[in-house]
Amino acid sequence: MKMNLPPFIRRIWGTLLQTLFLFKRPMTVGVRIIVHDPEAGTVFLVRHTYVSGWHLPGGGVERGETAMEAVRKELMEEGRLEPRTEPVLLGVLFNRGTRHNHVLLYLSEDCAQISDPEPNWEIAEARAFPLTELPEGMAPATARRIAEWQAGQSPASDW
């Protein structure tokens, strides 16, 4: 599954979304989830249409929504993934790049993929990668979070 948009369209789309979110939610909270399949030795990553790199699945916590509701919603939207057990909170990180965003980092090691994800306006590609063969072009924060988790370290305080 692959959906590619020209880089200038991705930048415009990303800028529009960030601007909308800033007005809609001046202080934001987001969730990101390390989805690990211990038997297969994989982690699930997504590539968005509006920003470069591979990322952990996740997104914003909407007004009136709990963090766990956001985790479940984002896993379903981005990967057609359904946690069978409650994901575990690994840490709360501050995203200094936006100066207004906190990220709740979760770990899920028992997810079922109920169907193959399909490309859409937001997700260009989504799939599991062996931990020994992570893709080129991972977002730096995603690479750091996976490395910390693999080393058994608590996540850093900054995203």
Number of folded domains that form the chain: 1
Report if residue 112 sits inside a domain: yes
Report if residue 123 sits inside a domain: yes
The CATH number of whichever domain residue 140 belongs to comes to 3.90.79.10
Please give the residue range of the domain that contains residue 114: 7-150
Report if residue 146 sits inside a domain: yes
CB 103 within 8 A of CB 159: yes
Instruction: Please compute Rg for the chain using Cα positions.
Output: 15
| Residue with the two structure tokens 């591979």 | 54
Report if residue 113 sits inside a domain: yes
pLDDT tens, the chain, 159 aa long:
456 777 778 778 777 777 776 666 567 899 999 999 999 999 999 999 989 999 999 999 998 999 999 999 999 999 999 999 999 999 999 988 777 789 999 999 999 999 988 778 889 999 999 999 999 999 999 999 999 999 999 999 999
Report if residue 2 sits inside a domain: no
Report if residue 83 sits inside a domain: yes
First to last CA, the chain: 28
Name the phi and psi angles at 65, rounded to 5.
Answer: -110, 140
